[in-house]
């Protein structure tokens, strides 16, 4: 999913930090990577029976930025590996991947349910 915001003058660094802090802990590993035009945040499921990664890209400028979320290719590769090896007992890869995909969908839904308020709070704090 992807959404764009314009004319808000929001610090992308602060936004990325808030997003990172929101997912730190909670049986999740968070890895932020600075990009030339923003930040990429990977939220990695760390529960033993799940396999999933959500990527959050924040790109643009403070007055014109977009946020995109997606499951990473690594998750899709694991599903393909599980399907390929299922005849040799690789069904656990499929199960871990499907459970991970479900968890990533929950995280993504949670993210989009809170990001508008997060952006508004950054705008409000700037106005004070």
pLDDT of residue 8 exceeding 60, the answer is yes
pLDDT of residue 61 exceeding 90, the answer is yes
For the chain, what is the mean pLDDT? 83
Triad 63, 65, 69: Cα angle to 5°: 160
Per-residue model confidence (pLDDT) at position 128? 44
Per-residue model confidence (pLDDT) at position 69? 96
Q: Which residue would you say has higher pLDDT here, 120 or 125?
A: 120
Per-residue model confidence (pLDDT) at position 77? 53
| Assigned token pair, 81 | 């590996």
Find the mean pLDDT for residues 84-107.
Answer: 69
Lowest mean pLDDT among 24-38, 45-59, 70-84: 70-84
Per-residue model confidence (pLDDT) at position 99? 77
pLDDT of residue 84 exceeding 60, the answer is no
Per-residue model confidence (pLDDT) at position 12? 96
Residues contacting 68, CB < 8 A, separation 6+: 1, 2, 55, 56, 57, 59
Enter the pTM of the model. Answer: 0.80
């Amino acid at each position: 999913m992807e959404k764009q915001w314009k004319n808000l003058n929001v610090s992308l660094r602060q936004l990325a930090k808030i997003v990172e802090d929101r997912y730190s802990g909670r049986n999740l590993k968070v890895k932020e990577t600075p990009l030339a035009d923003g930040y990429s945040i990977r939220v990695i499921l760390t529960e033993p029976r799940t396999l999933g990664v959500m990527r959050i890209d924040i790109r643009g400028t403070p007055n014109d930025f977009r946020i995109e979320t997606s499951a990473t290719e690594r998750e899709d590769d694991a599903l393909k590996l599980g399907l390929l090896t299922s005849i040799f007992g690789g069904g656990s890869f499929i199960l871990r991947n499907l459970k991970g995909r479900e968890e990533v969908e929950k995280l993504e839904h949670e993210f989009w349910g809170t990001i508008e308020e997060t952006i508004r709070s950054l705008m409000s704090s700037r106005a004070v």
